Structures are given as C-alpha cells and as structure tokens.
Chain A
C-alpha cells in the first residue's frame, strides 16, 4: 500500500508542476525552465527543514517563494522575447541552474553515519542526502499523500477561480493576439510576468514536496527532461482548459506505473502516446470544445428536469 501512497503523492506533485507550466502557457509563453524553479524550490525547502529544523509547511512555502523570485529574475529580461526565443532562453537558464545545483555545497558535518556520508546539506555532485523530515516526524506516506493532495486542491481551486475571472480572459487575449491585447489597454508585460512568477512559485512548491518525498535529490534530477515532461502534461492533457494539466499529469504519472507489466517498453509507449495524441487530438485530451459540450449537456439536462418539475407542479 505504501508504494501506491508514494505514487499518489508523486502524482499530486506532478499536477502542481503541470499547473506551473499552465500558468504561463495561458499567456502564450512556453517555458522549459520549470525544472530550474522546481530544483531551487527543492533545495531551499530541504535545506530549511534539514539544516534549520524549520516547519515543513513553512519550508515548502519558502521553496515556492524562491522559485517565484527566480522566475521574476528570469522573467523581466526574457518575457519580451517572442516565440521560440523565450523557450530557448528558459532552456539555457534551466541548464545553468542545474550546473549550480549540481555543484552547490553548504551545510554542516554530521556526527553519525558511515565514512563518506557525514555531511548534512547539499554536497556538490554527491547530492543532497538525509532529507528525513517525514521520517523524523513520523509522517507516513499515506499522510504525506493526503497533504500533497491538499496542496493540489488549493491550486486547482485557485485556477477555477482564475478561470472564471476577468484576468483569465485578459491572459487568453494576450495568448491569442498581443497587439489586440495592447490596443484594448491590457498591460501585456505585467500580466505575463505575474503569470510566469505564479508558475515559478508553483514549481518551487512542488519541488519542495518532491525533495521531502524522495529524501535524496541531486542537481542531475532537474535536467531538461523534467521541463519537457512537465510541458507534455499540459500539451497532452490540453492547454485550453484548466482540466487539461490535471488530466495530463495524472495520466502521465499513473500510466507508466500501470504499464509495469511491460516495464521494458513503457517509456517507448509513453513517447508513442505523445505522438499519437498530437496526431489525433492536437488540442490535447481535454479540449475547450469538449468541456463546453459537457457543460452544455449538463445544463440542458438540468433545465429539462426543472421544466418537468414545473409542469408537474402546474398539473
């Protein structure tokens, strides 16, 4: 059972990561730098709990803030870039951050432990070991999964509110046509930077959760593959509605686990699935049309029921 709890927690973390990509995706920016924010969030949160014995929740929030600050730092000069230039700039940034994380070393010596394993904190290429907050505070994998999904609920709730607000329309207008957005008085740069920073915060939070789930992280965990997979969550799930990233992240995390009987070829099949989705459902698994149709049929059912009950009352 513990295994499935871990998978559930990992799924939740991936959902938050997917929403971090989605946050800037709705303004039309494709970021491949989420691995950097995720990594920085992981290192910051893990350092705070391991070295300063900080409360887990506060540490994860600090991780999120670190991701957000970093995204602001990157966002200001790069968000004026158009098309692929922004994407490639984020690739370069993510790669530079990975190198830093891979080599960063701070912390303090650990009294117990085997020879060569007496360091608390990030230890350069060896990685960051002994992130044992969950173990030290007797938090089981089931409890941690519930905690992660609480974060997910908050994030999804926030996006539901956002989707129904005026800001969402502004963001989608920027994505459709920046010139039109400017002409109707939308502050394009400000909106883009806020969206990107929100993405950075979410990536940082998911990184903090990830570090505590795995108990060991190293700079090489945050390579460009992670960013591309996070982007795939959104593209495959569907970037037109807020349900797409949720669906994409859940399917993408669970499918390789369900496909364990054909373990050797699961990544190949996974890659093939991305290709097939792009071939047959380019707008992703959950498109805006699809959601509209479901909403419409639900409303129709409800109105028919209301009409019937009103007719019955009249009779």
Chain B
C-alpha cells in the first residue's frame, strides 16, 4: 500500500518533471546550448505574477501572467545570452550563469518576499471519490502534463513551424539551406519552452503553497537531470525519464528517507550518464 501511494504521489512529480523536461528539451535541441538561467527565469515570473495578482485572488490570471512574463523575460535573456554572446557554447552557458546569479539575488532582496512567495492552490486538494489516495489537483496536473506533451508532439509533427524546429534541431546547416530563419524559430521554440516551464513551475508552487528564492536552482537541476537521463532525443524519452525520476524519487523517499533519496537519485544519474550514455547523438525531435 505504501509503495502504491508513493507511486501515485510520484505521478504528480512526474507530471511536473515532464513539463520542465520539455522546456529544457526544446531550448537545448534548438540552441544546442545549456540554459542555466531557465529555472531562475521561471521563478522570477512566478514571483512577479503572484505578487501582482495575489491581492485580487484571481489565481488563474496569475498562472497565465506567469507564463507571459516567462516568455518575455526568456526572450530577453535568450536574445542576449544566445544571440549576442558568440563563440564557444561555454560562453553562453557562463552568460546564463551571470543572469541566474543576478536574478536570484534580486529575488532574495525583494522586500518582504525574499524568504518566499505564497501561491494559492486554486484546485481542490481532496482525494478523488474512486481513489481516495489520489488527490484531485495532482490528477489534474498529471493529465495537464500529458496533454501538453501530446500537444507539443502534434505541433512538432504536423505543423510547418514544428517541421522547421525539428529541422533546425537535427541539422542547422540543412535548415539554413531550406531558408528557415534560425532567429525566428529560436524565438518561437524558447517562448514555448518558457511558457511550458512557467506552467510547470506555477503548478508546483501551487501544490506546495509557495516557493522560495532557491526554486530556480531546483528547477534547473531537475530539468538538466531529465534532459540527460532521456538522452535529449525525443518527447517520449522525456516522458519516460520524468516518470522514472518522479516515481523513483517518491519510492526512494518512502524506503530510505529524503536524505538518501537525493543521494541514490544523483548517484544513479551519474552512473546512467557514465555507463549508458556518452556517445555523440544527433538531436532529433
């Protein structure tokens, strides 16, 4: 029963991880760069949106606003760190590190909000009638994540923009020969990634009744973990990696406690990367 409950709880995390992983996946596939500021941008957007909307308690607006803010901030950060910073990919990574540090510190120093920001849960946290151990909000979030992943899959598979994104991710030279504008595709892909990331971040903040200033770091680390466990080759890989991580983490927490969850999780990840992955792969979507 304990294992069953852990798996159910793990599904919530898996849902959130799916969305975070998808965000990272889109950015990484199109840009071929690691965006260390991804989580911080999401955190800042949630902070700003919930601060602006919380007095009115119109929480769905806060959710939409956080997605919009993430797109805007993400656009500026992307334009500077990936558009203007040239040369070695490590330079862009270092630039996003600078953005991460600056934004995180700004949030820490935000008067009255440095310690955390309350985010109201507008979904019911009661158990479902037919499975009392499964919370309503967790179920909604999981299905939202699956819908998002499926929607993204259809978008990438059956639309012209999706084809352009896939081509750019597979081979930038071919994309250029086909007349695909890298700039526009990068803007579209990073905007979608920021929106999906903000959606995941806001829903997580909602279930936890708030976030603190280190939330950005957590998002970035988890996103990277999912990206690299999945191999960054397909949406289904991301879903699979997120399910393993989410359910695995909850099971490990139940069996060994929080401390060993992180330890075993990270060691496993290290081993997976070291012994299973590591070959140069073409990034396909």
Contacts and interface: CB of A to CB of B under 8 A. Distances in A.
A99 B217 contact: no
A79 to B, nearest CB: 9
B105 to A, nearest CB: 4
Interface in B37-72: none
Given A268-B106, A278-B98, A96 B263 contact: yes
B88 to A, nearest CB: 7
- Residue from A80, A88, A102, A279 with most neighbouring chain B CB atoms (10 Å): A88
Interface string A210-249: 0000000000000011001001100110000000000000
B132 interface: no
A145 B28 CA distance: 44
A100 interface: yes
Q: Kindly state the interface size class of chain A when it binds its partner.
A: 35 or more
B102 A279 contact: no
A202 to B, nearest CB: 20
Given A267-B101, A275-B80, A283-B87, A224 B217 contact: yes
Contact of B274 (A81, A225, A235, A265): A81
Contacts of B277: 81, 85
A279 B84 contact: yes
B278 A80 contact: yes
Interface in A99-151: 99-100, 102-103
Given A80-B278, A88-B273, A231-B94, A271 B266 contact: no
A89 B270 contact: yes
A282 B270 contact: no
B98 A274 contact: yes
Given A93-B266, A99-B263, A274-B95, A77 B275 contact: yes
The 4 closest A-B pairs by CB, nearest first: A271-B102, A274-B98, A271-B101, A275-B98
14 contacts: A30-B90, A78-B273, A82-B280, A88-B228, A89-B273, A92-B269, A92-B273, A99-B263, A99-B266, A100-B263, A228-B97, A265-B109, A271-B99, A282-B87
Interface of A: 30, 74, 77-78, 80-85, 87-89, 91-93, 95-96, 99-100, 102-103, 224-225, 228, 231-232, 235-236, 264-265, 267-275, 278-279, 282-283
